[in-house]
Amino acid sequence: MTTEPTPTARDRLDEALQWRGHSEDKIVEVETTKVQLLIFAIGPSLLALPARALTEILPSSPIYFVPGCPPVIEGVINLRGDIVSVIRLGGLLGLEHAPASRATAILLGRGRDRAGEPIQSGLRVDRVIDVLALPESSIQPPPESLAAPLQGVATGLFIHGEASVILLDLDAILARFLEPAG
């Protein structure tokens, strides 16, 4: 003798399954603001800049020395007929560059000085590591233990793989560089 399932119990299960099915159809949207970053290395240090501050990644190209400039200015490059300065980013941040290699790259940065005037310059880095979109929530404030040259230009810290990456502010870097010049 078989017992017919009660219509009430079946209905409830059907409702439950139906509810589950519909709930899986729905896309749960979680509001997360992401920021696109470019991670690069200078010596053993990993650093990042917001992608919006960069316009191009150039392979290492001939750099022409300009006399009379501070040592962190490596010179100028000819970028498709335009002349662009190149600064040794490590020199501004108190970091030692690795010897030049095929991985050496020039990031074309676009920032603003204190007066709000746009400034374009190449930034020499030892190698480009990655480009990624990172939730803002995963960026921690920079630790107070950062070396002095990084303080004031580092805006955050995040983990990439197993390494810590320091997020930089290009406008702050350029402003600090131009400070002594008045």
Partner 1 sequence: MSGSMPLAPAFAPAPARALDLLLFAVGGLRCAISAEHIVAIGAPRGRAVPRLSQLLGIPRAQLPGAARILRFTSIAADSASCIEIQVEEPLSLCQIPLAAIHPLPPLIGATCALRCVRALASLAEQDGLTTCVLLLDPRQPPISSPISLRLPSSARAISPTPCEGRPIITQVLARQSSQRP
Closest contact distance (angstroms) between CB of 119 and partner 1 is 5
| Interface size with partner 1, residues (CB under 8 A) | 27
C-beta closer to partner 1: residue 40 or 177: 177
Closest contact distance (angstroms) between CB of 178 and partner 1 is 6
| 104 near partner 1, rule: CB under 8 A | no
What is d(CA 166, CA 42) in angstroms, rounded to the nearest whole number?
11
- Integer CA distances (angstroms), 71 to 90, 144, 177, in order: 11, 28, 12
| 165 near partner 1, rule: CB under 8 A | no
C-beta closer to partner 1: residue 119 or 132: 119
Q: Where are the beta strands (DSSP E) in 43-179?
A: 45-50, 54-59, 73-79, 82-88, 105-112, 118-125, 127-135, 154-160, 163-168
| 113 near partner 1, rule: CB under 8 A | yes
Site residues for partner 1, 63-92, by CB under 8 A, read 64-70, 73, 76, 78, 81-85, 87
What is d(CA 103, CA 167) in angstroms, rounded to the nearest whole number?
21
| 45 near partner 1, rule: CB under 8 A | no
C-beta closer to partner 1: residue 57 or 84: 84
Q: How many CB atoms lie within 10 A of CB 7?
A: 8
| 58 near partner 1, rule: CB under 8 A | no
Say if CB 48 and CB 157 are below 8 A apart.
Answer: no
Contacts for 5 with CB less than 8 Å, ≥ 6 apart: none
Site residues for partner 1, 118-147, by CB under 8 A, read 119-121
Tokens coding 122: 């190449």
Chain residues that interact with partner 1, rule: CB under 8 A: 62, 64-70, 73, 76, 78, 81-85, 87, 113, 117, 119-121, 174, 177-178, 180-181
